[in-house]
Structure 1
Amino acid sequence: MNTVITEKLVSEKESLFPNLESLFCDINIHEYQKAVNKAQESVISFLEDTHKPFSGISPRELRKQFENINLNDPSHTYEEVFEEVKELYTQHAIAFHHPKYVAHLNCPIVIPAIAAEMLISSINSSLDTWDQSAGGTLIEQKLIEWTSNEIGFDNLSDGIFTSGGSQSNLMGMLLARDHYSLKYLNHNIKKDGLSKDAHRFRIFVSDAAHFSIQKSASILGLGEQAVVKIKTDRSFRMNSVLLEDAVRKEIENGNIPIAVVATAGTTDFGNVDPMINIAGIAKKYNLWFHVDAAYGCALLLTDKYRHLIKGIEDADSVTVDYHKSFFQPVSSSGFIVRDKKYFGLITHYADYLNPKDHDENEIPNQVNKSIQTTRRFDALKLWFTLRIIGKKGLGGYIERIIHTAKEAAVLLENDPNFELLNRSDLSALVFRYSADPFKTFDLNRINTYIKSQLYKNGNALVAGTKVNGQFYLKFTILNPLTTVEDIKSIVKTIKKHGNEYIEVN
């Protein structure tokens, strides 16, 4: 477009619409480039200036900086806004890419996915219907098909991208509830609501399973009482013998078992439940078999460790978190079902959005399979990643992570100052500082102190958890750049803080 004409258009429209230069459109390309360049500079500064996982600032200290900010008073320039955000956020952001961040299930992310984020945010497609996304719909469907094939499902399978593992698990429990009610009780919950028998529904999980299953039961009107926890064995995997005993007991008590959830990669221990055994029990008692592989889906990427997830192909539904083990930015998760017909349990048609005749005309509307309506085009991040890095490349990252976790386990096991609770199928290790000469000290307090000091100083970050009422520290290794030397350094720092506590007390 001619520059003079463009300037005239902008001038005319600005008289009607102030701040028109902020709108994403063809007449504001220069403004867009300026904003993106400033954002890029900010990200590069974050990488260059970050030398430890966390600044160590306390909530009280940081909150003070927000007290005099008036959101009704714009800063006007990108320079001012980025400088403000640096003070409030960027310089204190937790650096998941740092090799000494080994706390929660937060992975470093890959650059192809970041490139895709720019397209996703700028073009802003909504993946609920074809007429809002076009090729975006087909890209998402192709990635769901790829994931289904990796799981071992056939061409009857289907799925949808979700916001995260909690939403995927909720969808699994929703389909489990409605499928059982319709097939075995001839009651349509979607149309008629919960039946008088719903309070007797029971869902079985290990006592190391993710808390989202309990939240799902509550949201679905079954109550947390519907969730039956099965004790794990010494390796913190569901005990399948106790599972079958529990199913029988619930039946004897007049309750109705409807589903069992196997965890492929527990949050605390990174271990995989015995899925082949669990699948057999599910089939025997007509239970919906859901696999929460939010963490362990990474095993699908590697030939070396793929056998650890055997049995997932027998599931009715699977949770996959790409933003945990596929190195994707939040959010990027998937919910996959063995048979696409199950999505009929949640499909609703709206004349203004996804009328039923679209099905007849083979117009693909992803909202038919989702409990969300508007959805970001998060699938594009995984598309970029697979097309540039590939499954083999990602698998190499995972193999390196698992190898480092094994080395870390040996290190902790051979150090008399530590008590290691588990060996991991993946990369999560639970342990505590437990120096032999000082066992008269309260180990819960010592390890709580150690964790707090690590966050206060920010040089290395670990997580914490409780096992049988006792407080433990936890490594969650999800960074291919983290080496055993980094782990040794973190262990040394942990010892230092442990010794500090003993000296003071």
Structure 2
Amino acid sequence: MSEQHPILAAAPHSTAAYRDAIAQSSEAVVQWLQQPEMYQGKSVAALRDRIELAFTAGGLGNAAAIERAVEFFLKDSLSVHHPQCVAHLHCPSLVISQAAEVLINATNQSMDSWDQSPSATLMEMKLIAWLRERAGFAAGDAGVFTSGGTQSNLMGLMLARDAFFARQGHSVQQDGLTGDLRKLTVFCSEQAHFSVQKNMALLGLGYRSVTQVKCDAVGRMDVADLTAKLAQARDNGDRVLAIVATAGTTDAGAIDPLREIASLAQQHQIWLHVDAAWGGALLLSAQYRHLLDGLDQVDSITLDFHKQFFQTISCGAFLLKDARHYELMRYQAAYLNSEFDEAQGVPNLVSKSLQTTRRFDALKLWMGLEALGEERYAAIIDHGVNLAQQVAAWIAHQPALELVMTPQLASVLFRYRPTDFTGDHAALGLLNQHIGDALLDAGRANVGVTEQRGVTCLKMTLLNPTVTLEDIQRLLALVISTGEGLPR
């Protein structure tokens, strides 16, 4: 009988169907967590041939639909909790985050207006205020939760662009872009996230508007080169909309010298946005918070919580230092954020977001902070950074492995380089690429393949707080044995 009630509501048949569906799904997850393989090892072609939508006239019912999802999705999913799944900034999730998802999904609140998400709106605002305090910003609630780093970076660049024009008395929101757009540029490091280019294209200025600044030997923005490029831009008559600094580059985990960059940005009156999608986790760190020195001096910040905060995807935030800049994107709609409501002090978060309908993802971080507490949260964040340093020290004593760069956050860049290898630089890079491919094809491990300073290398991103040095030693032994078995 419960199968005949498809909508979640207070009716007895509905609540019975909900309990049954959640119980069946939860049990399937528990079973999936027990499988020893990191990945079942199916190829793109095999999965494509296997997966088909069964959309019938009468429907299969909840139980059968769940069974098919388990068969075609869950069993063939990557086990991100597995100790040998280390390729990307892709974290295992907190148990409490999973519980939060149940509440978020069942209530289906929409964060665009207070009358669609009353308690959720206020909780998000209070959490933004807490994050601002952690970052060193003044008291306030200028900020919003986002889908992740790309969207947060887009907000920072868009507001930087519009603030630049507003200082000249022009409203981009009302009248669009004006003047010689070829003279507009933003600066970021060579190791900045690709979303800088992607977002500048979305903003109508194209990839050509991005000026890349050189990096030092460990991947941080070179302040001397930034100074020289700012002077060159001035001499060329170019107009710099923003500088994007990075706190935690994707591969090396490098954190740009934020205080020095902030000083230059203030000197030239340029908006400074910091992409702290990864390194922002150090806001909770007991050991490494000092690496974010100068974060309080910037204009806007990107944070991601589905990386080293261990929240389920998606969960990010954008922090804005000066709330008045939100006026650059405000739009009044009578059905969402009417002037009447705002005059009464009703908070409608659609005024702060690029999204309209938006999930209450802030609940996951809220519950995570309350469940773990400050010391435990700090410990699991610091674990990855400490483990990366231990792994690097171990690699340094392995004849067949070579450390490519000293770890800065929780990533280790290295490569397989046997002592008897006689090939050239390109051949060694291809060998390492083949190692990464072979491990994933076999379902044994997911090790990243990237390039750093012209060197093709392997990458381990050690976000999982349950992983030990012994786990990584076993993984590296697998890397070596795989390399030994490949043709050269």
Consecutive unaligned residues of structure 2, counting only runs of 5 or more, are none
Partner of 2:202: 219
| Equivalent residue for 1:78, pick from 62, 66, 73 | 62
> The residue matched to 1:336 in structure 2 has which SS?
strand
Amino acid at match of 2:404: L
2:361 paired with 1:375:
no
Letter in 2 for 1:54: Y
Q: What's the offset of the Cα at 1:155?
A: 1.4
Runs (4+) of structure 1 moved beyond 4 Å? none
Q: Quick one: which amino acid aligns to residue 222 of structure 1?
A: L
Residue 131 of structure 2 aligns to a residue in which SS? helix
Partner Cα separation in structure 1 for residue 382 and residue 58 of structure 2? 48
1:37-78 Cα distance to aligned partner (Å, 9 max, x none): 111111111112x213211111111111125x4324565233
Match of 2:386 among 389, 395, 403: 403
Which of these residues, 443, 455, 461, is aligned with residue 476 of structure 1? 461
Indicate whether 1:465 and 2:465 are aligned. no
Counterparts of 1:143 and 1:156, CA distance in 2: 11
Tell me the distance in 2 between the aligned counterparts of 1:162 and 1:198. 28
Q: Is structure 2 residue 438 aligned with structure 1 residue 450?
A: no
- How far apart are the structure 2 equivalents of 1:318 and 1:172? 7
* CA distance in 2: counterparts of 1:470 and 1:85, whole angstroms: 41
Runs of 5+ consecutive residues of structure 1 not aligned to the other structure = 1-6, 11-18
AA aligned opposite 2:80: F
Kindly provide the amino acid, as one letter, of the partner of residue 471 in structure 1: T
1:289 and 2:275 correspond: no
Q: Is the contact made by 2:301 and 2:320 (CA closer than 8 Å) also made in structure 1?
A: yes
Query: Which stretch of structure 1 is more off in the superposition, 414-423 or 172-181?
Result: 414-423
Partner of 1:22: 6
Query: Match for residue 13 of structure 1?
Result: none
1:55 corresponding residue in structure 2: 40
Q: Assess, with a 3 A threshold, how the Cα gap between structure 1 residues 74 and 293 changes in structure 2: closer, same or farther.
A: farther
Are 2:482 and 1:497 equivalent residues in the alignment?
Answer: yes
Aligned to 1:233: 216
2:229 paired with 1:246: yes
* Residue in structure 2 matched with residue 15 of structure 1 by the alignment: none
Aligned residues: 484
1:308/1:425 contact within 8 Å kept: no
- Deviation string, structure 1 residues 173-220 (Cα, Å, up to 9, x no partner): 00000001111x221101000011333111111100100011111000
Select which of 422, 428, 431 maps to 2:414: 431
> Cα distance, 1:156 vs. partner?
4.3
State how 1:307-346 maps to structure 2 within 5 Å: 307-346=290-329
1:161 & 1:322 partners in 2: Cα distance? 10
TM-score for the superposition, normalised by structure 2:
0.96
The two structures have a TM-score, normalised by structure 1, of: 0.93
Once residues 31 and 193 of structure 2 are traced to their aligned partners in structure 1, the CA distance between those partners, rounded to angstroms, is 36
1:112 partner amino acid: I
Give the counterpart of 2:118 among 130, 134, 137.
134
Match of 1:96 among 76, 80, 104: 80
Deviation at 1:468, TM superposition (A): 4.1
Aligned CA distance change for structure 1 residues 97 and 384 (closer, same or farther; 3 Å): same
Measured after TM superposition, the shift of residue 250 of structure 1 is: 1.3
Distance in 1 of aligned mates of 2:198 and 2:21: 40
Alignment partner of 2:50 out of 37, 41, 65: 65
Query: 3-state DSSP class of the match of 1:325?
Result: coil
Instruction: Determine if the alignment matches structure 1 residue 486 to structure 2 residue 475.
Output: no
User: C-alpha separation between the residues in 1 aligned to 2:402 and 2:234?
Assistant: 40
Contact 1:431/1:473 (<8 A) preserved: yes
Name 1:32's counterpart in structure 2.
Answer: 18
Name the structure 2 match of 1:192. 175
CA contact (8 A) 2:286 2:379 kept: no
Alpha-carbon RMSD: 1.5
1:164 and 2:148 equivalent? yes
Checking the alignment, whether the CA contact within 8 Å between 1:157 and 1:339 is kept in structure 2 is no
The equivalent residue for 2:28 is: 42
Distance in 2 (alpha carbons) for counterparts of 1:44 and 1:305? 35
The residue number in structure 1 matching 2:395 is 412
Instruction: Please give the secondary structure, in 1, of the residue aligned with 2:387.
Output: helix
SS in 1 for 2:447: strand
The 3-state SS of whatever aligns with 2:216 is coil
Counterpart contact for 2:185–2:242, Cα < 8 Å: yes
Q: 1:362 aligns with which of 345, 348, 359?
A: 345
Deviations 1:2-41 (A, max 9, x none): xxxxx9xx9xxxxxxxx75111111111111111111111
- After alignment, is 229-238 or 421-430 more displaced? 421-430
Q: Which amino acid aligns with 1:436?
A: T
Distance in 1 (alpha carbons) for counterparts of 2:39 and 2:59: 27
Offset at residue 80 of structure 1 (A): 2.3
Q: Which amino acid aligns with 1:130?
A: W
